[in-house]
């Protein structure tokens, strides 16, 4: 069990550019979540996959954000036309699913939009 991994760990981009983050969950976990954390706040839910199906999206996820989990394994989160307000830590978590509600988090990707 190697835990949840995320890549890259840090990303600096200029406003208006597109960025893509990757998350590799724990291998037997069928649920995958994306959260965003800003300074002084707890993580906020963005979206959730069960296997390859995206089942819920937060209203925080504007149409500039898109997430995929094409084969039910790794997931990507893309932000188009980044804005300075997108600067945050993007966290991925996975869980086993039914009857197991603990979520295990990756180290996060810190995005800075200049």
Partner 1 sequence: DQQVKQNSPSLSVQEGRISILNCDYTNSMFDYFLWYKKYPAEGPTFLISISSIKDKNEDGRFTVFLNKSAKHLSLHIVPSQPGDSAVYFCAASNTGTASKLTFGTGTRLQVTL
Residues 1-20 that bind partner 1 (CB under 8 A): 4, 6
CA-to-CA distance for 106 and 6, rounded, in angstroms?
Answer: 6
CA-to-CA distance for 55 and 88, rounded, in angstroms?
Answer: 23
Instruction: Give the CA count within 13 Å in the CB-facing half-sphere of 37.
Output: 16
CA-to-CA distance for 16 and 35, rounded, in angstroms?
Answer: 22
| CB nearer to partner 1: pick between 14 and 42 | 42
CA-to-CA distance for 101 and 42, rounded, in angstroms?
Answer: 18
Q: Which of 61, 95, 111, 113 binds partner 1 (CB under 8 A)?
A: 95
Contact call for residue 65 and partner 1 (CB under 8 A): no
Contact call for residue 42 and partner 1 (CB under 8 A): yes
Instruction: Give the CA count within 13 Å in the CB-facing half-sphere of 54.
Output: 15
CA-to-CA distance for 19 and 36, rounded, in angstroms?
Answer: 15
Contact call for residue 94 and partner 1 (CB under 8 A): no
Q: Which of 43, 67, 69, 111 binds partner 1 (CB under 8 A)?
A: 43
Q: How far is the CB of 59 from partner 1 (least distance, A)?
A: 13
Q: How far is the CB of 34 from partner 1 (least distance, A)?
A: 10
Name the residues that contact partner 1, by CB under 8 A: 4, 6, 31, 33, 35, 40-45, 48, 55-56, 91, 93, 95, 101-108, 110
């Amino acid at each position: 069990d190697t835990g949840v991994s995320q890549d890259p760990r840090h990303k600096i981009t200029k406003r208006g550019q597109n960025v893509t983050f990757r998350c590799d969950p724990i291998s037997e976990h069928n649920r995958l979540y994306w959260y965003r954390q800003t300074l002084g706040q707890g993580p906020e839910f963005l979206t959730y996959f069960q296997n390859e199906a995206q089942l819920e999206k937060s209203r925080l996820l504007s149409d500039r954000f898109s997430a995929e989990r094409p084969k039910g394994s790794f997931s990507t989160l893309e932000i188009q036309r980044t804005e300075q307000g997108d600067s945050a830590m993007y966290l991925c978590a996975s869980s086993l699913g039914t009857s197991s509600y603990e979520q295990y988090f990756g180290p996060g990707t810190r995005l800075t939009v200049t």
